[in-house]
Each structure stands twice: as structure tokens, then as C-alpha cells.
């Protein structure tokens, strides 16, 4: 079935090794409804006319690297927020499946819930960006409700889609053992979790805000120190069922 033949893609990176298993091509969809305070890609919030591409054009670009994928590599669809273009996303996932290319969806889980089931039936792995475990703090961090991402995770479990869970750790926000306890409680509710990662907040995207004339919400907040991040992760591992 053809869903949507055109969509907005900002950039494509080849030979990635961080966003899923094996060697991957990472496709960055344009557009994102979230406004995460630590976002390092504000340039992807809005789509641009120059981003418009077709499924065939996109597939032609990623298929050039197919020989490098091996048995465990493939394509990772990131953003922006890929779920903001559900029809184009489904068409691209379908094209990859037809050509036996492993797919990873890197997402916050925020989108039109009516499309979640049909999208997840075409995905091999989800990298779920768990922004904040506390539903009351979630809107302060992201500008949107946590309820929709909860629905996405529920659908991922119904479809038995493997999950990698990632959370960005920001100094002064969630870099405490208490927050790790909250995170552990949330993650332990979810089945099909294969991996959990804590990502360090960094300041490399600050200049983009200046270029776009946008006030940076975390001005003055330092990058996360590796030693503290490692300490928090060791503590978190001790609380997670998948590591017991």
C-alpha cells in the first residue's frame, strides 16, 4: 500500500554506529512538535521547502549503502520527530521492509496515536527517547503531554517491538539518584526493553539558537560530566530488571 509519496527530510548521515545495531544510515526527518529545553537541533523544528523529497529519491540515497549494513545494520529514522509525518514514515518503512532493510525508529513517541499500530508493525526496533518519567514535569521539559508517548509505548509492547530506551541527563535537572529511582520505576513497567542508555547533556547545539534568534532555555548550564553520568548509570542498572 502506498501511504504518502512525499515528505520532508533534512539530512542523511551514512556509516552511523551509535543509533541502533551495526552500521546504519541515519535519516533525519524535518519537523518536531516538541520543544525540549535541552534540544540541540532547533533547526529541525520546522520543515523547509528544500526538505521535500519522494520515497523513491530517499530510497535511492539510502540503498547506496546497503552493502555496508551486513546482517545487523540498516536504516535509522530520526529527526526532528518522525511521527510528525506518519504517512510518509509508513511508506518509507514499507519500502525498506520490501527490500529487507532493518529499520530503527528513533522517537519521543509523540504523534497521532491513530497511526501508531500500523507504523509499529513495520518497525524492527524502536529507540525510545524517554524524556522525563514524571508526568507532571514532562510538559515543563518538552512542551507536550506525556500521555501520548505512554500510548506509543503501550502499542510497541502490544506489537512486541524491541525497545532501546534513552534519557538525556542534564545537570541540575535529573542528575540525582532520586531521579534514577523514578526512571527505574518507569522503565521496569515496560516489557521488550533490550537496552537502556543515559546520554550526557552537551552544549554543542547552543550556537544554533543564536543563529535562529531563539532564546536558549538552558543558557549557562554546563555539559554533563562523564564521571557523574557513569556513577548514575551504575546506580540505575542496579534498579533495572533487565540487568538482574
Confidence tier at 4 by pLDDT (50, 70, 90): confident
Q: Which residue has the higher pLDDT, 205 or 13?
A: 13
Whole-angstrom distance, CA of residue 31 vs CA of residue 201: 22
Q: What is the DSSP letter of 222?
A: P
Q: What is the pTM of this model?
A: 0.95
Strand partners, 167: 198
Task: Evaluate whether residue 50 is within a structural domain.
Answer: yes
Strand partners, 9: 29
Task: Evaluate whether residue 31 is within a structural domain.
Answer: yes
Long-range Cβ pairs for the range 58-67 (8 Å, 24+) = 58/7, 58/9, 58/12, 58/27, 58/92, 59/92, 59/95, 59/96, 59/99, 61/12, 62/12, 62/25, 62/27, 62/96, 62/101, 63/99, 63/101, 64/14, 65/14, 65/15, 65/23, 65/25, 66/99, 66/101
Mean model confidence pLDDT for the chain: 96
Q: Cell numbers at residue 2, please?
A: 502506498
Radius of gyration of the chain (CA): 18
What pLDDT was estimated at residue 204? Answer: 85
Question: Cell 503501550 identifies what position?
Answer: 154
Sheet strand arrangement including 24-29 = 52-54, 6-16, 24-29, 74-78, 102-107, 125-129, 163-169, 193-200
Domain tally, the chain: 1
Q: Cell numbers at residue 143, please?
A: 512542551
The string of pLDDT tens digits covering residues 70-125 is 989 999 999 999 999 999 999 999 999 999 999 999 999 999 999 999 999 999 99
Q: In sequence order, what E strands does the chain have?
A: 6-16, 24-29, 52-54, 74-78, 102-107, 125-129, 163-169, 193-200
pLDDT of 207 above 80: yes
Q: What is the mean pLDDT of residues 60-79?
A: 95
Task: Evaluate whether residue 201 is within a structural domain.
Answer: yes
Task: Evaluate whether residue 157 is within a structural domain.
Answer: yes
What pLDDT was estimated at residue 175? Answer: 98
pLDDT of 5 above 90: no
The range of the structural domain enclosing residue 183 comes to 6-243
What pLDDT was estimated at residue 3? Answer: 58
Task: Evaluate whether residue 89 is within a structural domain.
Answer: yes
Question: Cell 536558549 identifies what position?
Answer: 216
Task: Evaluate whether residue 1 is within a structural domain.
Answer: no
39, 201 in Cβ contact below 8 A? no
pLDDT of 223 above 80: yes
Whole-angstrom distance, CA of residue 53 vs CA of residue 167: 31
The string of pLDDT tens digits covering residues 16-49 is 999 999 999 999 999 999 999 999 999 999 999 9
Whole-angstrom distance, CA of residue 185 vs CA of residue 56: 43
What pLDDT was estimated at residue 27? Answer: 98
The string of pLDDT tens digits covering residues 111-162 is 999 999 999 999 999 999 999 999 999 999 999 999 999 999 999 999 999 9
- CATH, residue 98: 3.20.20.70
What pLDDT was estimated at residue 2? Answer: 52
Amino acid at each position: 500500500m502506498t501511504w504518502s509519496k512525499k515528505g520532508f527530510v533534512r539530512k542523511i548521515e551514512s556509516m552511523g554506529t551509535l543509533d541502533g545495531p551495526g552500521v546504519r544510515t541515519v535519516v533525519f526527518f524535518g519537523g518536531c512538535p516538541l520543544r525540549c529545553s535541552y534540544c540541540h537541533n532547533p533547526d529541525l523544528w520546522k520543515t523547509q521547502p528544500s526538505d521535500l523529497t519522494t520515497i523513491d529519491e530517499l530510497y535511492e540515497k539510502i540503498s547506496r549503502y546497503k552493502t555496508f549494513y551486513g546482517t545487523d545494520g540498516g536504516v535509522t529514522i530520526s529527526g526532528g520527530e518522525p511521527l510528525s509525518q506518519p504517512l510518509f514514515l509508513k511508506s518509507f518503512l514499507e519500502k525498506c521492509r520490501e527490500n529487507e532493510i532493518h529499520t530503527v525508529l528513533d522517537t519521543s513517541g509523540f504523534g497521532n496515536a491513530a497511526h501508531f499500530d500500523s507504523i509499529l508493525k513495520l518497525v524492527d526496533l524502536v529507540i525510545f527517547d524517554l524524556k522525563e518519567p514524571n508526568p507532571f514535569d514532562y510538559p515543563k521539559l518538552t512542551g507536550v503531554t506525556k500521555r501520548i508517548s505512554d500510548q506509543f509505548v503501550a502499542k510497541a509492547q502490544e506489537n512486541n517491538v524491541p525497545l532501546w530506551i534513552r534519557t538525556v541527563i542534564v545537570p541540575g535537572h535529573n542528575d540525582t539518584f532520586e531521579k534514577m529511582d523514578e526512571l527505574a520505576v518507569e522503565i521496569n513497567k515496560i516489557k521488550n526493553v533490550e537496552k537502556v542508555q543515559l546520554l550526557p547533556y552537551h552544549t554543542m547545539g547552543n550556537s544554533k539558537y543564536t543563529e535562529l534568534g531563539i532564546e536558549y532555555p538552558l543558557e549557562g548550564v554546563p555539559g554533563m560530566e562523564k564521571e557523574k553520568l557513569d556513577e548514575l548509570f551504575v546506580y540505575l542498572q542496579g534498579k533495572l530488571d533487565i540487568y538482574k
